Structure 1
């Protein structure tokens, strides 16, 4: 049998052609799959124990019409990996999917559906405005019940993975880093090659670049986006995900506190977003001079970086800090 693969072709040695992103939509889609077939997703059992009873049934069933247990789900659910798209903005984006793209993606869902599900999907195609609003409302409802309570823990794992991968590019080059993403992914003569089950395709990324997106919920394998208008994208399992990833972050504070001290541990955990010294002091309930001292120690050890933004100095975790927090979580 011929081997099937997608080749994302890049210009030789072009570091700028690859960027990383985070996709709330991708996490939610795979959360739906995990909730629908928990026996296939053991790494999500800890999360499901505390979440499953809170998921709104009707909204969940809307999403299961689009997201099957395996294989294709609509590209429009996952096609905007970025760094700062809020769940509310993601839901609004779903309300505004253009007619052509909605029809193309939903037709793919239709031909893969059977019975009552196929009838429901056809009804969505017949009434696209109502369907888009229903999908957006279901997306946000299930997000708020299932993902929002653990988004801080989940996002830290994603950012820690990206920090480690970025460092590997600097140390080993793109090919060296790509080889560590997944056993179905390899560097092949200037292309990121992903082994597939069904089809082969060559995607020229030299004009658009390639987005690499780690996933905590999607730990069973890799997914790709190859069709415009989506930017070529490869989703891969984040490293360091265990069944306890969704535990209360208080445990992480205690673990880091034993190493750094409680105040510095709290500052480091909160440093996933840039903050001023005054904001750090307020959030940590210490004096500004004390916060400044703690930030100096964290900066000197390479865990936090400080940069000037006009009159302000902003502090944020470095890749080393991301890796440390991700390992503890």
Structure 2
């Protein structure tokens, strides 16, 4: 059991944040052991073959995330200092890790592809950042609008709980393994049994889709104490719904473009969309170009693949049209 001791300043400094870099790290656990993560099976089935054929060498990253996972080096996923950092901001923080800390956190880790980090931490971190960028492009970038929408919805829900019932209501609702009593947060933890004071730094709460069904924590200096937990609605993240075209949206965009947005429940190529909708490849390409120019679709190249995905703006439009 992990016990976190709160003071008045800690309650005042408790906050939420998202972390694209943490999602990278947590998703590696899923791809290395898919059988243990049935909730993410639809994502794994789409991403793993694409990752294999893309030529992305993610071996260094894989060695840094052991399975089964007991400890992940904190330097590869430091708690974010802003609410919604860009991946590049988090990579810059990672690359600024002092060499002695990199070596210390690698002391008990095995893996032949970790030698560059041990021998030259500064250069090794630059190489690791490149690996993460390639992995992100192949596995997470096309899905990030959907993931971020889920995370934002969770934080809005938590904010309402805080407004309605204060810290007691907020913290007791986070996860069945978390319990708030008086000035302490009790966390049922697989590998940590300790009492830790927050020291006036507050607690950073990070909803994470790939953490399910576990909780992950960071409680050692110099990082802000952090809990990573599963957001509400995680079971619906990869659901496939019928690609119905909202009439109101079709009236504005046209039936074909609205239909393409409806089909982009998951990222897809021009070929996939042509096959599903019956439109010609040229027609699909033309409509996607227009949707991309309007900020409703994003394009992501991974090797020989170009995948199209709905933007956050498109997600909001579709949700509004369905209400």
Q: TM-score scaled by structure 1? A: 0.70
- For residue 141 of structure 2, the aligned residue among 143, 148, 153 is 148
- Equivalent residue, structure 2, for 1:294: none
Looking at structure 2, the residues matched to 105 and 129 of structure 1 have their Cα atoms a distance apart, in angstroms, of 14
Please state if 1:124 is matched with 2:120.
no
- For residue 34 of structure 2, the aligned residue among 34, 38, 41 is 38
- For residue 205 of structure 2, the aligned residue among 212, 218, 225 is 212
Instruction: Provide the aligned C-alpha RMSD in A.
Output: 3.3
Looking at structure 1, the residues matched to 97 and 163 of structure 2 have their Cα atoms a distance apart, in angstroms, of 38
**Equivalent residues of 2:78, 2:93 under 8 A apart:** no
Cα offsets for 1:183-203 (capped at 9, x unmatched): 211102212221123332222
SS at 1:207's partner residue? Answer: coil
- Equivalent residue, structure 2, for 1:101: 101
Looking at structure 2, the residues matched to 171 and 264 of structure 1 have their Cα atoms a distance apart, in angstroms, of 40
Please state if 1:200 is matched with 2:187.
no
Looking at structure 1, the residues matched to 237 and 168 of structure 2 have their Cα atoms a distance apart, in angstroms, of 31
SS at 1:196's partner residue? Answer: coil
For structure 1, the residue ranges without an aligned partner over 5 or more in a row are 267-281, 286-315
Please state if 1:139 is matched with 2:132.
yes
Q: TM-score scaled by structure 2? A: 0.71
Cα offsets for 1:19-51 (capped at 9, x unmatched): 001111221111111111111111111112222
For structure 2, the residue ranges without an aligned partner over 5 or more in a row are 254-292, 297-311
- Equivalent residue, structure 1, for 2:3: 7
Number of equivalenced pairs: 261
- Equivalent residue, structure 2, for 1:278: none
Cα offsets for 1:115-143 (capped at 9, x unmatched): xx2x4435531222332122111111101
The change in CA–CA distance for 1:35 and 1:203 in structure 2 (over 3 A counts) is same
The change in CA–CA distance for 1:265 and 1:35 in structure 2 (over 3 A counts) is farther
Looking at structure 1, the residues matched to 319 and 94 of structure 2 have their Cα atoms a distance apart, in angstroms, of 32
1:283 CA drift (Å): 4.4
Looking at structure 1, the residues matched to 193 and 237 of structure 2 have their Cα atoms a distance apart, in angstroms, of 36
The change in CA–CA distance for 1:135 and 1:190 in structure 2 (over 3 A counts) is same
